[in-house]
Amino acid sequence: IPIISDIKSVEVSQVDGVFLEKNMCNNWDKIWNFQAKPDDLLIASYPKAGTTWTQEIVDLIQNNGDIENSRRAPIHLRHPFLEWVRVVNSGIDEANAMPSPRTLKTHLPIQLLPPSFWEKKCKIIYVARNAKDNMVSYYYFQTMNKGLPDPGSWDEYFETFMSGKVMWGSWFDHVKGWWKKKDSHPILYLFYEEMMKDPKREIRKVMEFLGKNLKEEVLDKIVNNTSFAVMKNNPMTNYINDIEMNHSLSPFMRKGVVGDWKNQFTEDQNKRFNEDYEKHMADTSLSFFEEL
């Protein structure tokens, strides 16, 4: 299975059946016992579902549309990545050193989220993206990110993704788990496709969820500054200088569209995926747009 490939020297292990980078697994007690605070905001998603986009929207709303302030630091320093473990420090260390109110980021599936987030009833924004586009984006991300396993060929990766043996686990389990949890916890569940279709409406939802009331012109400014073109040219959101990412292989911000899967999936893959998808999604009210 390509996930175990060691071409990039990325070691993978498991926590409760979910594949995670080995350093995360080795530090699992520290991650699991992280102490959230009641005023923490958590941005959660499956990898490559619109996380950075949502982070920038949130940051601009929190800063009342102040563009300069939102460019004070790269996005990964503004919002510690909870479970990420680096050589020097970890997301947990960064979060613990950060004054409140904190905004944090995670890709953890619902069952692996540190329980203190539920106990403290922290607000959580979850963003989901249709499975096919998500798979394509994740594939290209794994080709360029030195911190993730080598994905192998597209055909190999297709099988790996379908089996759920990718980092952070099965897409199906992830989106369904968080969808179910929103009935019992303050979770704003966003869809990448809806954000593409009507960004102002979705940004307004985030604003209201955060208890803010911004003027229309400020919202328009946020819409403009969180467009794909602007964010791609913003070094504070596009990880240009990140040593873990090789933009020559594939840019971190690649296309930012809905329906790109059509350029990648073969007819046979699409047929197989649709059959598998129906089985996995039979037990949920959750539905997605695969094109706009």
Does residue 188 surpass a pLDDT of 80?
Answer: yes
- pLDDT class for 140, splitting at 50, 70, 90? confident
* Segment 199-221 mean pLDDT: 97
Does residue 66 surpass a pLDDT of 50?
Answer: yes
* Segment 108-129 mean pLDDT: 98
Question: Which structure tokens are listed for 174?
Answer: 């992830």
Does residue 87 surpass a pLDDT of 90?
Answer: no
Q: CA-CA distance, 99 to 262, in Å (whole number)?
A: 44
Q: Catalytic one among 76, 79, 107, 174?
A: 107
For the chain, how long is the longest CA-to-CA vector? 51
Does residue 234 surpass a pLDDT of 50?
Answer: yes
Q: Is the backbone peptide bond immediately before 101 cis, with ω within 30 degrees of 0?
A: yes
| CA distance to 49, 85, 91, 131, 207, per residue, from 192 (Å) | 7, 27, 25, 11, 17
Neighbours of 210 (CB within 10 A): 17
Instruction: Indicate the average pLDDT of the chain.
Output: 89
* Distance from the first to the final alpha carbon of the chain: 33
Q: CA-CA distance, 19 to 81, in Å (whole number)?
A: 17
Question: Which structure tokens are listed for 292?
Answer: 């706009």
Does residue 254 surpass a pLDDT of 80?
Answer: no
Tell how many helices (H) and how many strands (E) occur in the chain.
15, 6
Q: Residues with Cβ < 8 Å from 64, sequence gap 6 or more?
A: 212, 214, 218
Question: Would you call 107 a catalytic residue per the annotation?
Answer: yes
Question: Which structure tokens are listed for 147?
Answer: 């911190």
SS3 225: helix
Does residue 6 surpass a pLDDT of 50?
Answer: no
**β-bridge partners, 123:** 41
Does residue 8 surpass a pLDDT of 60?
Answer: no
Question: If one looks up domain 2-280 in CATH, what number appears?
Answer: 3.40.50.300
What does R_g of the chain's alpha carbons equal in angstroms?
18
Question: Which structure tokens are listed for 6?
Answer: 């060691």
Question: Which structure tokens are listed for 247?
Answer: 């933009």
Q: Which amino acid is at 257?
A: V
Q: CA-CA distance, 74 to 237, in Å (whole number)?
A: 6
Q: CA-CA distance, 91 to 42, in Å (whole number)?
A: 13
* Segment 85-93 mean pLDDT: 85
The angle subtended at Cα 231 by Cα 249 and Cα 196, nearest 5°, is 100
Q: CA-CA distance, 4 to 165, in Å (whole number)?
A: 9
> Which of 44, 24, 42, 147 lies closest to 84, judged by CA?
24
